[in-house]
């Protein structure tokens, strides 16, 4: 147990953080002696992320949420997968701090360290992987209801990541999104910091300040440094004071359309399929409460949701035998006020057509040839080995056998006076159920063909 005691503006503050690896992490709360508006008092603890000091040679490290001295807490985002490459997401989210000189391009905006909003699961002692580690990094701060505050900080994209969509963040004040920031890499040689300033008003005695990663969850995220919050004017005071100003979330709209294509005899409908949508504060247009995940039946007309700007994803729970195609609008980042459409299309499967049925074997005694393999019925055809040829027509249809087996061949033969293979042969012959192995069938076929050829020669001789 670590007891950290500070003296701020003549008041004694006690903040206790109990740290037990794998057991308990209490969120760090920054408690002030009195909720008064004092423009000289910095309300954010460790705003430049100087504590703990990163000592790892890799010049970056991760720290469990609520670690003593950090002043910051973290929450994994709904867009983070629970498993990745055989690893399971840690129960306690991690903060990530980087130190000056990281990868030669990491230059802090203030001091020697800064934070990243897409962190890591394992830390610098393990091989780097694109873990889905996006976080909501926040502090709960005592405020004066109705007082106006100035919130400032700086952001920078990762200099080694050209994908602009990775460097994005939502800035929240008391649950309301006050801005969505996206920045492109300006100079790949070093970090490029942009300062931001906002005037906000408290509506409660405790206000949460949040920095939420809005990029792809892949361990590459926006950098944040020098976070500051000071009171500008008291409740009802001058200089922008007055009554409380409620900041509503910058919401976006998402419509999910479910299409079902039945070209091969399928009977599925849109409502037969279950869909899950994930996003911060996602809710239906008629809901009174919000959530981070909603499961609902599909609709060809579309189901519309509202959600806080940021990362989101949509997927189907189990399409069964139907194929599934998701449009580009089914995942990504929604900016404040944006509207997006996700279309999920399912197509019924093409029936599996087995191999053709075997033809009729050569009838006769003592050798009989099996019909060909396949799960379809065998066809007619063939000759007899009796002398003279008798009526064993070729129209009999065989029965079904499993794939790779031998079907029941149709009857074969030619009536007296007809030509071998004459299409006019219609008298049914006797079918034969074959199940011998392939080599045996080949030997039988060769032998019987020789007999049949001899019979044909006899026929020809008699006709002469």
Q: In this predicted structure, what is the pLDDT of residue 374?
A: 35
State whether 180 and 107 are in the same domain. yes
State whether 106 and 62 are in the same domain. yes
State whether 384 and 453 are in the same domain. yes
State whether 327 and 363 are in the same domain. no
Q: Give Cβ neighbours of residue 391 (< 8 Å, ≥ 6 apart).
A: 413, 415, 416, 427
State whether 314 and 453 are in the same domain. no
State whether 39 and 125 are in the same domain. yes
Domain containing residue 182 = 25-233
More confident residue, 205 or 401: 205
- Residue 16's pLDDT band (cuts 50, 70, 90): very low
Q: In this predicted structure, what is the pLDDT of residue 220?
A: 87
Is residue 125 predicted with pLDDT exceeding 80?
yes
Is residue 358 predicted with pLDDT exceeding 80?
no
Q: What is the mean pLDDT of residues 387-397?
A: 39
Determine, yes or no, domain membership for 20.
Answer: no
Is residue 11 predicted with pLDDT exceeding 70?
no
Final residue of a structural domain among 347, 373, 400: 347
What would the pLDDT profile of 147-175 be if each residue is shown by its tens digit? 999 999 999 988 776 666 678 899 999 98
Determine, yes or no, domain membership for 241.
Answer: no
Q: Which has the closest alpha carbon to 99: 57, 71, 139, 135? A: 57
Determine, yes or no, domain membership for 8.
Answer: no
Beta bridge partners of 384: 363
Q: Give Cβ neighbours of residue 442 (< 8 Å, ≥ 6 apart).
A: none
More confident residue, 293 or 411: 293
What would the pLDDT profile of 204-262 be if each residue is shown by its tens digit? 999 999 999 988 888 888 999 999 999 998 764 433 333 334 444 556 788 999 999 99
Whole-prediction pTM value?
Answer: 0.50
Residue 13, CB half-sphere, CA atoms under 13 Å: how many? 16
Determine, yes or no, domain membership for 62.
Answer: yes
State whether 357 and 342 are in the same domain. no
- Residue 348 CA to residue 268 CA, distance in Å, equals 8
* Residues 199 and 150: beta-carbon distance below 8 Å: yes
Beta bridge partners of 283: 306
More confident residue, 405 or 451: 451
* Residues 169 and 155: beta-carbon distance below 8 Å: yes
3-state secondary structure the chain: CEEEEEEECCEEEEEEECEECCCEECCCCECCCCCCCCCCCCCCCCCCCCCCCCCCCCCEEEEECCCCCCCCEEEECCCCCCEECCEECCCCCEEEEEECCECCCECCCCCCEEEECECCCCCCCCCCCCCCCEEEEEEEEECCCCCEEEEEEEEECCCCCCCHHHCEEEEEECCEEEEEEECCCCCCCCCCCEEEEEEEECCCCEEEEEEEECCCCCCCCCEEEEEEEEEEECECCCCCCECCCCCCCCEEEEEEEEEEECCCCCCCCHHHCEEEEEEEEEEECCCCCCEEEEEEECCCCCEEEEEECEEEEEEECCCCCCEEEECHHHEEEECCCCEEEEEEEEECCCCCCCCCCCCCCCECCCCCCCCCECCCCCCCCCCECCCCCCCCCCCCCCCCCCCCCECEECCCCCCCCCCCCCCCCCCCCCCEECCCCHHHHHHHHHHHHHHHHHHHHHHHHHHC
- Residue 360 CA to residue 414 CA, distance in Å, equals 12
Q: Give Cβ neighbours of residue 267 (< 8 Å, ≥ 6 apart).
A: none
* Residues 290 and 281: beta-carbon distance below 8 Å: yes
State whether 363 and 311 are in the same domain. no
* Residues 152 and 58: beta-carbon distance below 8 Å: no
Q: In this predicted structure, what is the pLDDT of residue 199?
A: 93
State whether 224 and 363 are in the same domain. no
Lowest mean per-residue pLDDT among 35-49, 91-105, 237-251 = 237-251
What would the pLDDT profile of 324-357 be if each residue is shown by its tens digit? 999 988 988 776 667 889 999 999 998 765 444 4
- Residue 256 CA to residue 303 CA, distance in Å, equals 5
State whether 399 and 335 are in the same domain. no
Is residue 405 predicted with pLDDT exceeding 60?
no
Determine, yes or no, domain membership for 68.
Answer: yes
CATH at residue 135: 2.60.120.260
Is residue 264 predicted with pLDDT exceeding 80?
yes
Determine, yes or no, domain membership for 275.
Answer: yes
State whether 302 and 373 are in the same domain. no
Q: What is the mean pLDDT of residues 266-270?
A: 92
Place of tokens 């053709």: 356
- Residue 258 CA to residue 253 CA, distance in Å, equals 17
Determine, yes or no, domain membership for 393.
Answer: yes
> Which of the given ranges, 96-105, 142-151, 286-295, 416-425, has the highest pLDDT on average?
142-151
Q: In this predicted structure, what is the pLDDT of residue 400?
A: 41
Q: In this predicted structure, what is the pLDDT of residue 446?
A: 55
Place of tokens 């027509």: 393
Final residue of a structural domain among 313, 347, 381: 347
Determine, yes or no, domain membership for 93.
Answer: yes
Final residue of a structural domain among 347, 372, 406: 347
- Residue 445's pLDDT band (cuts 50, 70, 90): low
Number of structural domains (the chain) is 3
State whether 339 and 388 are in the same domain. no
- Residue 291's pLDDT band (cuts 50, 70, 90): low
Q: What is the mean pLDDT of residues 106-135?
A: 92
Q: In this predicted structure, what is the pLDDT of residue 81?
A: 87
More confident residue, 105 or 360: 105
Q: How far is CA 124 from CA 54, 98, 102, 128, 222, in A?
A: 11, 11, 12, 7, 18
CATH at residue 264: 2.60.40.10
- Residue 437's pLDDT band (cuts 50, 70, 90): very low
How many residues appear in the chain?
A: 464
């Amino acid at each position: 147990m670590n007891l950290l005691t500070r003296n701020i503006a003549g008041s004694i503050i006690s903040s206790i953080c109990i740290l037990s690896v794998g057991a308990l992490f209490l969120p760090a709360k920054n408690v002030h002696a009195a909720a008064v508006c004092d423009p000289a008092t910095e309300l954010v603890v460790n705003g430049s992320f100087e504590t703990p000091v990163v000592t790892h040679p890799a010049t970056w490290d991760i720290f469990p949420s609520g670690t003593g001295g950090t002043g910051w807490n973290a929450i994994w985002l709904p867009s983070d997968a629970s498993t990745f490459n055989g690893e399971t997401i840690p129960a306690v989210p991690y903060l990530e701090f980087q130190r000056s000189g990281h990868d030669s391009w990491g230059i802090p905006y203030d001091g020697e360290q800064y934070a990243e909003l897409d962190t890591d699961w394992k830390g610098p002692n393990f091989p780097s992987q694109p873990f889905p580690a996006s976080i909501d990094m926040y502090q709960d701060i005592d405020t004066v209801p109705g007082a106006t505050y100035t919130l400032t900080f700086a952001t920078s994209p990762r200099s080694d990541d050209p994908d602009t969509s990775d460097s994005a963040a939502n800035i929240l004040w008391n649950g309301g999104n006050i801005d969505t920031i996206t920045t492109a890499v300006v100079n790949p040689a070093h970090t490029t910091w942009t300062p931001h300033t906002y005037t906000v008003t408290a509506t409660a005695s405790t206000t949460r300040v949040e920095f939420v990663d809005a990029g792809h969850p892949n361990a590459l995220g926006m950098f944040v440094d020098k976070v500051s919050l000071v009171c500008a004017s008291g409740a009802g005071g001058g200089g922008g004071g007055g009554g409380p100003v409620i900041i509503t979330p910058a919401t976006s709209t998402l419509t999910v359309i479910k299409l079902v294509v039945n070209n091969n005899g399928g009977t599925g409908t849109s409502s037969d399929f279950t869909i899950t949508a994930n996003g911060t504060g996602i809710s239906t247009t008629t809901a009174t409460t919000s959530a981070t995940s909603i499961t609902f039946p599909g609709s060809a007309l579309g189901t519309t949701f509202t959600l806080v700007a940021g990362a989101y994803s949509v997927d189907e729970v189990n399409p069964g035998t139907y194929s599934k195609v998701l449009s580009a609008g089914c995942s990504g980042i929604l900016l404040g006020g944006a509207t997006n459409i996700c279309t999920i299309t399912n197509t019924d499967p093409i029936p599996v057509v087995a191999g053709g049925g075997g033809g009729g074997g050569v009838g006769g005694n003592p050798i009989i040839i099996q019909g060909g393999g396949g799960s379809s019925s065998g066809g007619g055809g063939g000759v007899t080995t009796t002398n003279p040829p008798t009526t064993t027509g070729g129209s009999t249809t065989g029965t079904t056998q499993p794939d790779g087996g031998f079907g029941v061949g149709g009857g074969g033969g030619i009536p007296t006076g007809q030509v071998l293979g004459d299409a006019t042969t219609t008298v049914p012959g006797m079918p034969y159920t074959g199940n011998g192995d392939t080599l045996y069938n080949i030997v039988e076929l060769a032998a019987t063909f020789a007999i049949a050829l001899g019979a044909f020669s006899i026929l020809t001789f008699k006709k002469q």
